[in-house]
Amino acid sequence: MLKPHHETAALMEGPDAFGGGAENPASPSHLLHFEPLAAGDAGLDVPCDPQGRVGLDGLGAQLRNDYFFARTLIGRLFAAPTVRSVAGA
């Protein structure tokens, strides 16, 4: 099942999550947020660039699977994702 959204950013792996090396995957500046449609369900935050592009190669296996799951269920379990700036980034 999906991890609570506040824990997912720590699941990043690899030094080059976004292909250019400019982003620090351990402390992303933006998160792609999938808000659950049902109250009480967990949302999902996935590190992304300011345009909402996700570096799949930099995600751990579980977070990558959760990301694909959430994308597939937009409109059923999740609202359309939004890009959020990370405080202090």
Per-residue pLDDT tens over the stretch 34-52: 999 999 999 999 999 999 9
pLDDT at 1 over 90: no
Per-residue pLDDT tens digits for 72-82 = 999 999 999 99
**Residue 32, domain member (yes or no):** yes
How many domains does the structure of the chain reveal? 1
Q: Is residue 3 part of a domain?
A: no
CA distance 89 to 85: 8
As a whole number of angstroms, the distance between CA 72 and CA 64 comes to: 12
Give a yes or no: residue 47 inside a domain: yes
How many whole angstroms separate alpha carbon 79 and alpha carbon 68?
A: 14
Which pLDDT score is estimated for 70?
A: 97
Contact 19, 58 (CB under 8 A): no
Q: With respect to residue 1, please indicate whether it lies within any of the assigned structural domains.
A: no
Domain that holds residue 71: 8-15+27-85
Domain-located, residue 46:
yes
Mean pLDDT of 60-78: 97
Q: Whole-model pTM above 0.75? A: no
Q: Is residue 22 part of a domain?
A: no
Which is it for strands 30-34 and 82-85: parallel, antiparallel or unpaired? antiparallel
CA within 13 Å, CB half, 64: 10
